[in-house]
Chains A and B, each alone.
Chain A
Amino acid sequence: MTFLPYVVAVWLFLAGLYGIVTSRNLVHQVVCLSVVQTSTYVVLLAVGYRTNATAPVFAGIALTRPAVDPIVQALSLTDVVVGATVSALLLAIVVQVHKRTGSLDPEDLRDVNQRIPQ
């Protein structure tokens, strides 16, 4: 039962990866990539957790109370915002791909060296 956070993280990773591998739509792939990223946040926060401890914010409580690890929270915090921005970059590329080729299906776009009629 105490292994559940790691199981959930591995499940999210594999489910997102399945979505990317079998997707027929580029926007769907970008959202599945963001699901894969959330599995890393779950792992980080699970590593830093301490039972019956409080959040590492000492406003109004004594300094001697046990608290969870602040370092992994700092890592996850910036990662969440930056991850969304990288997804935005990927979505901009998807918009351009649709403009140039008219298709959102990865199967249609497989051959990079497609012969362009002159």
Chain B
Amino acid sequence: MNALQGIVLLLVAGAGTCVVVARDPLRQAILASFFGIVLAVLFFTLQAPDVALSEIVVGAVALPLMILLTLAKVRGGEK
């Protein structure tokens, strides 16, 4: 295991902790997008380009988008 993989693994652990610790869902959506990108870099260093492509389009785009849409609906009602 080389140094790059070690560093990216630690980044993934850190980003995952940040996503859990952020209690406000709006902040969490942006952190989840960042977590998706770091995870895709990890998959890339583990020689898995298919999975990395999948994780980028889903984890960095589709999932935060759905969280934001949910928040817009939930908070829009509280006026």
A–B interface present (Cβ within 8 A): yes
Interface set of A (CB-CB < 8 Å, partner B): 1-2, 4-5, 8, 11-12, 15-16, 18-19, 24-25, 27-28, 30-32, 34-35, 38, 41-42, 45-46, 49, 51, 53-57, 67-68, 73-74, 76-77, 80-81, 84, 87-88, 91, 94-95, 98-99, 104
Q: Contact at A99–B63, with CB atoms within 8 Å?
A: no
A-B contact count (CB 8 A): 125
Q: Contact at A15–B12, with CB atoms within 8 Å?
A: no
Residues of A within 8 A of B74 (CB): 27, 94-95, 98, 104
Q: Contact at A45–B43, with CB atoms within 8 Å?
A: yes
Asked, given contacts A1-B1, A80-B59, A81-B58, whether A35 binds B20 with beta carbons under 8 Å apart, the answer is yes
Contact of A19 among B20, B29, B77 (CB under 8 A): B20
CA of A54 to CA of B20, assembled, Å? 33
CA of A42 to CA of B62, assembled, Å? 20
Asked, given contacts A16-B20, A24-B23, whether A42 binds B12 with beta carbons under 8 Å apart, the answer is yes
CA of A91 to CA of B28, assembled, Å? 14
Residues of B within 8 A of A73 (CB): 48, 50-51
Q: Contact at A51–B1, with CB atoms within 8 Å?
A: yes
